[in-house]
Amino acid sequence: MTGLLQVVVASVRAVLTMAGLLFGVAVLAGAAAGDLPVALTAAGWGVLIGVSGLWAHEAAHLIMARRLAGAAAAEVVRSGSTLAVRAPELTPGQAVAVAVAGPVVGAAASLGWTPVAPLWIAGGFALVHAANLVPVAGTDGALAWRACCRLLDRRWTAKRGVTGGQ
């Protein structure tokens, strides 16, 4: 299966969760504001932009990992309604590139909708992807930070002639 097809198949639960949340909130907000069609239109744009950004984000991780470490180096995994790419055999430098690729491509895919979609929706999803670069537990930023630390540690120990000896 190609990378994008794997991501699409694995993301069914995540996509349905996102759609349910967006349309559920839209119905409540639209009913409260007395303008259900506008709220449902915004939710529709949110699902379209959110899903395309999710697919681009995860496909970028998968494709980057496979390009750097080989076709069998990465796989799409799902846990509940979350989706991730597992690539355990990457070097620290490769892991940084793979971790950063997802949010960058996801944000670009979200912003790619700005000619036809409301800017505040596309921009909001792009900001979500960018926030994923913040090094907080469970984010791509945390993975990149850990990989950078491993990379710097390896360079520091190699420069000092430390062998590790464990």
Amino acid at 57: H
> How many Å apart are CA 28 and CA 119, to the nearest integer?
22
- Predicted pLDDT of residue 159: 67
3-12, 17-26, 122-131: range with highest mean pLDDT: 122-131
Q: Among 9-18, 25-34, 72-81, 110-119, where is mean pLDDT lowest?
A: 72-81
Q: What sign for the dihedral angle of Cα 104, 105, 108, 113? A: negative
Is pLDDT of 54 > 70?
A: yes
The contacts of residue 6 (CB under 8 Å, 6+ apart) are: 62, 75, 76
SS3 assignment, position 155: helix
Find the mean pLDDT for residues 7-18: 88
Residue 49: Cβ within 10 Å count? 24
Report the mean per-residue pLDDT for the chain: 88
Is pLDDT of 1 > 60?
A: no
SS3 assignment, position 39: helix
SS3 assignment, position 145: helix
pLDDT band at 26 (very low <50, low <70, confident <90, very high): very high
The conformation of residue 139, written as its DSSP 8-state character, comes to: S
Domain borders along the chain are 3-160
pTM (2 d.p.): 0.84
Is pLDDT of 163 > 70?
A: no
**Which residues on adjacent β-strands are paired with residue 83?**
78
Residue of 154, 91, 92 lying closest to 163 (CA atoms): 154
Find the mean pLDDT for residues 52-69: 92
pLDDT band at 86 (very low <50, low <70, confident <90, very high): confident
Model pLDDT for residues 100-159, shown as the tens digit of each residue: 999 999 999 999 999 999 999 999 999 999 999 999 988 999 999 999 998 888 777 766
Q: What sign for the dihedral angle of Cα 50, 56, 59, 65? A: negative
